[in-house]
Amino acid sequence: RHANRGLDDCLYPGPFDRVPSRYLLTLGDIKMPINYLKHADKTASTGEQDVRKTVQTVLDEIEVGGDDKAREYAAKFDKWTGDIVVSKEDMKAAADKVSTQLKDDIRFAHDQVRKFAEAQRDSIKDIEIELRPGLIAGHRNIPMNAAGCYVPGGRYSHVASAIMSVTTAKVAGVGQVVACSPPRPDIGVNPAILYTLDLCGADTVLALGGIQGVAAMAFGLFGCKPADILVGPGNQFVAEAKRILYGRVGIDMFAGPSEVMVIADATADPEIVAWDLVGQAEHGYNSPAWLISLDKDLAEKVIALVPGYIAELPETNRVNAEAAWRDYGEVIIVDTKEEAVQVSDEYASEHLEVHCTDLDWWLDSLSNYGSLFLGEETTVAFGDKTSGPNHILPTKGAARYTGGLSAGKFMKTVTWQRMTREANRDIAQVTARISRLEGMEAHAKTADIRLAKWFPGENFDLSGTD
């Protein structure tokens, strides 16, 4: 079917037997190339190696130099020489600069996010089970002691990110929540962000951006506890700093540029689809916007509309969206809903919109996405700002193995067990035999000694021979 459309529609240039897996649909044992009307030359990983060296150097220097080195980088990168820890007086002064309408809007969004996070938290249960007579095991969900929340504030002031990260951490019961956000020269952190952080319950706010902000939270600078987990979106330097620190601290996920995929059929509104693609492309020059269409006519209409919509944006947004659509935008034609699902799951997009009939079918069939938006009545922007589910989501294919930020991300599920002496009769014997089979004699001895103590005179087969 794809071959019959002609080579002009299929933009993968290489020989068919060397087509990368992402360009293929697998239908049984038959592989067919994805049919692109528009294909991207770049991916979200383009240019990562250059960023990595810079970030590692800055992290190393701040770890050694502490508060003073962080201040030095704040002066260098943010042009900020004021106080790093935002005082309560400064928080109050910032609130006075925020309009009543904006405060009302922020409180509205906070209530939505808080209620959703509370529902998530309440769904997470401790368990206890008697696995066999005398052997009781369980798990507990324990909030982390300290969290660091990064809130972007450079090109765009992400009030919503403050709500998403800090609110969710506080709902989960985290002991100390530290937030950082880039200050602007001679101004400091955006007043609306400060008002939001205070409303959401941040315990400490640092006027630090970029790598130095992430480092300060991870290393416990400026009187804060070292973070157990770092969360929040940011530019490629922030994302790379979190990636490097992962293992030493937890992170919400490996993050890249914001991305959107829209699946649309012939019933979709091309104007809405086009605007929803542009709405994510304005995030940055490297933000992918992808369309999977079951109707070629719709796809062509969307391609025709997007440049004009981008041209309507303010300059900074326009420049970002133009580059993102040119270098990262893709439009893919498929024949069936099943093919659309397969392509979508292969990409595992951060945001996934479905503009099709039979929405319940799509909800049941799709599996790899950060957050799903069903029907044209909802959109990524609603999720980004106010509707309730968290907007800090996996990118770069990570939705294959993780979801977005949730109350559960700030909690550890830890197991426990206890047992009676009588339960040792079976458990210890099996443990001793398996340990010896594996060559771990000391492990076996810990079982032997308990059997000898509590069942003196009894003979047990503890050899572990097969």
Q: Where do we find the tokens 């969900």?
A: 141
Rounded-to-integer distance, Cα 419 and Cα 417, Å: 7
Looking at 74-167, list the stretches that DSSP marks H as alpha helix, in order from N- to C-terminal side. Answer: 88-96, 100-123, 159-162
The residues annotated as belonging to the active site are 350-351
Q: C-alpha distances in angstroms, 304 versus 295, 319, 328?
A: 15, 18, 17
Rounded-to-integer distance, Cα 443 and Cα 170, Å: 41
Rounded-to-integer distance, Cα 257 and Cα 259, Å: 6
Using an 8 Å Cβ cutoff, are 356 and 362 in contact? yes
Per DSSP (E only), the strands in 69-222 are: 127-132, 135-143, 146-150, 176-180, 204-206
Rounded-to-integer distance, Cα 392 and Cα 404, Å: 6
Rounded-to-integer distance, Cα 345 and Cα 368, Å: 5
Q: Kindly report the CA angle at 125 between 120 and 129, in degrees rounded to 5?
A: 160
Rounded-to-integer distance, Cα 294 and Cα 290, Å: 13
**Residue 192 token pair:** 């609306």
Strand pairing partners for 246? 249
Rounded-to-integer distance, Cα 161 and Cα 285, Å: 20
